[in-house]
Structure 1
Amino acid sequence: MKLYAVSDLHLSSAANRLALARFDARPDDWLILAGDVGETEDHLNLAFDALQPRYAQLVWTPGNHELWRLPRSAPGGVERYERMAALCRARGVLTPEDPYPVVAFGGRAVRIAPLFTLFDYSFRPSDVAIEDVVLWAREEGIGSVDELRLDPAPYADRAAWCRARCAETERRLEAACADGLPTVLVNHWPLRARDVRLPRIPRFSPWCGTTRTQRWPSRYNACAVVYGHIHMRGVKRDAGVAYHEVSLGYPRDWEGRVEAKDCVRAILG
């Protein structure tokens, strides 16, 4: 049995929906969906309809797009996340709200930990104050739709929601990882600032994670870290940990460069 991963399917795109239909079937293996499947419940169901018959188990963690308040009259914030997680659980898809499963891939037992941490603007230069970070990015023509569509309710702001999610996740990881088993940490946002490589839009980094998670790979015995969000596919190895960015991305990120189905990355096994 093997473990695969992909993120940023962005099924609002017709080209990505067509590409999804061509993904390979691996009925004995597990597949991680590391966020940004799409913006609606229909997008999640479309992904699950296509992929559940092809894989033994799906694991999902939310990206910023799943959290967008669309339409504006729809629930946002924590209620939005809970609705999306409930949909996944009703479909038998594992989420950050489930116990972290221990599974053997290639004969090696690992704990898979889907995480949901958000971002808190701390991936920014030390001389830029948090209250100035949006204007600092705007100086280079950079912004994020999250400022308009990602409602943090009932928290005061997105940074406060991020702090709460990180604190709760640390509590769960501390309890679950006490046995020393290796882990696969799965998050939509990179766990470390050094993994945010944005040569064309470097000032987008404040929306890419939180420094609160930077030591989690060593602290929680990670053998692999899986993430997306930055649409820069690749793998790097550092101190015995493989860091996998597994995004498909928008059509401009893959068309003419790679077959979409080949963006599904083998992680273990």
Structure 2
Amino acid sequence: MGKLYAIADLHLSYKLNADALDALHDVHGDDGLILAGDLGEREEHLETAFRWARAHFKTVWWCPGNHELYTLPSGKTTSPDDDDDYGEGGGKEPRGQAKYDACVAVARRHGVLTPEDPFVVWDCSDEEDGGGGGGDGRAAKALVCPIFTLYDYSFAPDGVPRGKEVEWAAEEGVCATDEVLLHPDPYPSREAWCDALLKRTEARLAEAAAEASAQGMKLVIANHWPLHERVVALPAVPRFRIWCGSRRTGDWHTRFGAAVVVSGHIHIRRTDWIDGVRFEECSLGYPRQWQRARDAGRDINAFLREILPGPAERGEEGVTRWRTLGGP
């Protein structure tokens, strides 16, 4: 096996992003790729992403982001982040769990692994001398675990009462599109859906961690939403953090023996080391958010983040490496 890469937030409803896929170098036939959510809103966006990924990579994983879960009004084909009035969403598109299930079905048609499939081992020992990894920050073999957690608004500051988080964000004019287009059906709320997902995922990761430990491996945990609050930095819209995860996942990287935690959603590329575990935010983002990279001559190849075996040097605890222009 070759290397394992990840990328998130391709947002293929934007033509510029969709066209950018064509620039991928045809050198990844033995490599794996994690697609960490927000490929787009429609089935055709998933189809495009999965066809592209499967044409270039040996194995592909996908975990959902909030955009895949949107229920758009009938006939709406552009990004929900455009300045349009969405009303309450609807049409005949599936909602909530049914929308997620429909996305999983698309992935399976293309042979893409999802959070509903058994976790599998990625072994890139040939790429790195040293077996299962050492003190240099690398890991050659790991159990790859794509997961789906959603969020429960608990990233709000301690002083914000439970149930008032959305009102708190609205005080500064911040409201996520999720509040209109991401339906929790059949659960009564997004928090309830998140609770069910977290309980199920905890059980699966505990089992996976035991299996991996018995084989001398660690996990690669891939989720669209960040698992740890420390990697949620949103200087332009700090109150958007309530839609970015759950405090309940804050110890999963150590509790379940992760070598690397992969996420997207924030659209601010960064690498962090927390408790000796590497965290990789690997989003592409909206066209305006990677304009500087394009101006510098970078293309989609610069935004594939190497997960395994990873960097030769272990990063410094608590020091963020910002990857604004992509690259290593």
Give the TM-score range, shorter chain.
Answer: over 0.9
1:194 deviates by: 1.3
Which residue number in structure 1 is paired with residue 49 of structure 2?
A: 47
User: 1:175-207 deviations in whole A, cap 9, x for unaligned?
Assistant: 222131200000000001111010111000000
Residue 243 (structure 2) pairs with residue 201 (structure 1): no
**Pick aligned residue for 1:98 from 117, 120, 132:** 117
Contact 1:115–1:186 under 8 Å retained in 2: yes
1:109 deviates by: 2.0
1:33 deviates by: 0.3
Aligned equivalents of 1:151, 1:126: Cα separation in 2: 26
Residue 280 (structure 2) pairs with residue 244 (structure 1): yes
Aligned equivalents of 1:60, 1:221: Cα separation in 2: 21
Deviating 4+ runs (over 4 angstroms): none
Which residue number in structure 1 is paired with residue 65 of structure 2?
A: 63
Range with bigger deviation, 254-263 or 126-135: 254-263
TM-score w.r.t. length of structure 2:
0.80
Which residue number in structure 2 is paired with residue 253 of structure 1?
A: 289
Contact 2:261–2:280 under 8 Å retained in 1: yes
Superposed counterparts of 1:1-269, under 5 Å = 1-25=2-26, 26-71=28-73, 72-73=90-91, 74-106=93-125, 107=131, 108-179=140-211, 180=213, 181-258=217-294, 259-261=298-300, 262-269=302-309
Q: Identical aligned pairs, as a percentage?
A: 46
Aligned equivalents of 1:12, 1:32: Cα separation in 2: 20
1:135 deviates by: 1.3
The secondary structure found in structure 2 opposite 1:254 is: helix
Aligned equivalents of 2:194, 2:152: Cα separation in 1: 6
Range with bigger deviation, 169-178 or 252-261: 252-261
The secondary structure found in structure 2 opposite 1:27 is: coil
TM-score w.r.t. length of structure 1:
0.97
Unaligned runs of 5+ in 2: 74-89, 126-130, 132-139, 310-328
Aligned equivalents of 2:19, 2:165: Cα separation in 1: 38
Output the amino acid matched with 2:305: R
User: More helix per residue: 1 or 2?
Assistant: 1
Range with bigger deviation, 170-179 or 152-161: 170-179
Aligned equivalents of 1:203, 1:265: Cα separation in 2: 27
User: 1:135-175 deviations in whole A, cap 9, x for unaligned?
Assistant: 11111111100000000000000000000000001111112
Output the amino acid matched with 1:32: I
User: More strand per residue: 1 or 2?
Assistant: 1
User: 1:1-56 deviations in whole A, cap 9, x for unaligned?
Assistant: 10000000000001101111112231110000000000011001111222211111
Aligned equivalents of 1:63, 1:127: Cα separation in 2: 28
Unaligned runs of 5+ in 1: none
Output the amino acid matched with 1:264: L
1:229 deviates by: 0.1
Aligned equivalents of 1:193, 1:148: Cα separation in 2: 25
Q: Which has the higher contact order (CA 8 A, sep 6+)?
A: 1
Matched residue pairs, number?
Answer: 269
Contact 2:29–2:57 under 8 Å retained in 1: yes
Aligned equivalents of 2:117, 2:193: Cα separation in 1: 19
Output the amino acid matched with 2:35: L
1:256 deviates by: 2.7
Output the amino acid matched with 2:247: T
Output the amino acid matched with 1:89: R
The secondary structure found in structure 2 opposite 1:36 is: coil
The secondary structure found in structure 1 opposite 2:23 is: coil
1:86 deviates by: 1.3
Aligned equivalents of 1:82, 1:41: Cα separation in 2: 12
Contact 1:4–1:264 under 8 Å retained in 2: yes
Output the amino acid matched with 1:2: K
Aligned equivalents of 1:53, 1:77: Cα separation in 2: 30
Structural RMSD (CA)? 1.1
Aligned equivalents of 1:24, 1:69: Cα separation in 2: 34
Contact 2:60–2:112 under 8 Å retained in 1: yes
